[in-house]
A and B are shown apart, each in its own frame.
Chain A
Amino acid sequence: MTTPPELIRRDRAWHPPGYAPGYKSTILRSPRRGLLGLEQSASELTGPVFGHSMLDDLDNDLIANYASDGEAIGERIIVHGRVLDENARPQSGVLIEIWQANAGGRYRHINDGYMAPLDPNFGGCGRCISDADGNYFFRTIRPGPYPWRNNGSDWRPAHIHLSLFGTSFAQRLITQLYFEGDPLIALCPIVNTIADPQAIDMLVAKLDMANMVPFDCLTYRFDIVLRGWRQTFFENKREGN
């Protein structure tokens, strides 16, 4: 019997806890019994693989992919970076799905009733797959902050939601990207579910002036780290390890 290679255990103190009362929605939606630690088997170590054939040419261009009579309104930006694992190995073939509000802070979603108007040329939905070196990029507009009911009217910092698939289902991750310099980051109850300032800093995209597009777009850099494979010693070695 070959034991499949395993992932490094998830550092639950680094991630936000399920119960984080400053973000009130967690109060009734967090389990209380504690998670049951489980050895990894094929059910979790394998995972879906998504191919480039499912992508449309405009899937990673949110300025253009919902345009009807013009381009999306707002600050034009590129968001790019590299997907690595915890051992700093580039992760290719990672499906990255993103969603965000428009420049006024309004989501194109039937449940969003914020007063800011919809942009007829902006959907707020995109996806791409990381290349052989783990690189990815999107073109979009910088989303606006918006109010939400938590402590009366809290304000979300500008953010982009990201969903990520590694090669193993146990690497699955959904997170949010914030923008360097935004004063709302420090005030946000959702950001502050994370205890460690260094962990929060990993979610802050950095202004990347070297890669701005002259007379077109500002660029932000956002590297992503997925769970890595632990070294195996007196066991069957994973190829390439």
Chain B
Amino acid sequence: MTVKTLKETPSQTAGPYVHIGTVPAAAGLQVRTQEKLNITGLKGGEAIVIEGCIRDGSGELVRDAMLEIWQADAKGRFDAGGHSGWARAVTDFKTGLYRFETVKPGPIQWRDGRPQAPHITAVIFARGINIHLHTRIYFDDESAANEADPVLKQVPGEAMRQTLIARRDAAAKATTYRFDIVLQGEDETVFFDI
């Protein structure tokens, strides 16, 4: 017999009605309508928008997903004891787009003290996703930092690395990065087992 710890409660899909419990106003409930969940509470540094869509293995938009992000502030510090580095968004029922408003994170130390390139942790929940998918959002205007990043270095191949890099939208008024997520197929986003 091996040593037994308790087992983690198993995951189940968030289902198509995830909005009711997590973003009730999106489901049509007239509760907590004042909450702006897709905006982090971070102050200072460069204000940015991250938007994009999620596609399935047939290229269809995933219009019933819920996403969350967690990140450091502009100086690379995590909010210990608060949730200012956290936000939650849903993909729009019609356009399929999600949108976060936050600040660009600073560099964060890797386990051995090396810097990690600025990045945002993202998790995705939806109908048909049995256990949430965990990924990272990096920035295309941080190419030097990205090249030295200890996580990006572990991703096999440039094409797969590119799936983790948000692209600056030069045409947008606010500083906007586009980050599309592909659940399956040729351009499948890299997802992590942490």
Residues of A within 8 A of B (CB): 1, 3-4, 7-8, 10-12, 14-18, 20, 23, 25-33, 35-44, 46-51, 65-66, 84-88, 97-99, 107-112, 123-127, 161, 163, 169-170, 172-176, 190-191, 193-194, 198-200, 202-203, 224-228
A125 and B21 contacting across the interface, CB-CB below 8 Å? yes
B17 and A99 contacting across the interface, CB-CB below 8 Å? yes
- With both chains docked as a complex, state the minimum distance between the C-beta of B175 and any C-beta of chain A, in angstroms: 21
The 8 lowest CB-CB distance pairs between A and B, nearest first, are A99-B21, A25-B128, A48-B83, A29-B128, A48-B86, A35-B193, A16-B130, A99-B20
A174 and B12 contacting across the interface, CB-CB below 8 Å? yes
Question: Who on chain A is nearest to B190 by CB?
Answer: A36
A86 and B6 contacting across the interface, CB-CB below 8 Å? yes
B45 at the interface (CB under 8 A from A): no
A125 and B130 contacting across the interface, CB-CB below 8 Å? no
B residues less than 8 Å from A27 (CB atoms): 57, 128
- From A43, A123, A174, contact of B116 by CB (8 A): A43
B52-106 CB contacts (< 8 Å) to partner A = 56-58, 60, 62, 64, 68, 70-72, 78-83, 85-86, 93
B residues less than 8 Å from A49 (CB atoms): 79-83
B128 and A33 contacting across the interface, CB-CB below 8 Å? no
Interface of A is mostly: loop
- From A7, A14, A32, contact of B188 by CB (8 A): A32
Residues of B within 8 A of A (CB): 5-22, 24, 27-29, 31, 56-58, 60, 62, 64, 68, 70-72, 78-83, 85-86, 93, 108-113, 116, 119, 121, 123, 125-134, 136, 151, 154-155, 160, 183-185, 188-194
Q: Which of A40, A43, A110 has the most CB of B within 10 A?
A: A43
Question: Who on chain B is nearest to A160 by CB?
Answer: B21
- With both chains docked as a complex, state the minimum distance between the C-beta of A1 and any C-beta of chain B, in angstroms: 4
Question: Who on chain A is nearest to B62 by CB?
Answer: A29
CA–CA, A130 and B71, complex, Å: 24
CA–CA, A8 and B11, complex, Å: 16
A28 and B57 contacting across the interface, CB-CB below 8 Å? yes
CA–CA, A17 and B119, complex, Å: 27
B70 and A169 contacting across the interface, CB-CB below 8 Å? yes
B6 and A46 contacting across the interface, CB-CB below 8 Å? no
A97 and B21 contacting across the interface, CB-CB below 8 Å? yes
- With both chains docked as a complex, state the minimum distance between the C-beta of A178 and any C-beta of chain B, in angstroms: 9
Question: Who on chain A is nearest to B83 by CB?
Answer: A48
CA–CA, A224 and B128, complex, Å: 23
B24 and A17 contacting across the interface, CB-CB below 8 Å? no
CA–CA, A218 and B55, complex, Å: 43
A residues less than 8 Å from B57 (CB atoms): 27-30, 32
A36 and B27 contacting across the interface, CB-CB below 8 Å? no
CA–CA, A174 and B160, complex, Å: 27
A residues less than 8 Å from B24 (CB atoms): 123, 125
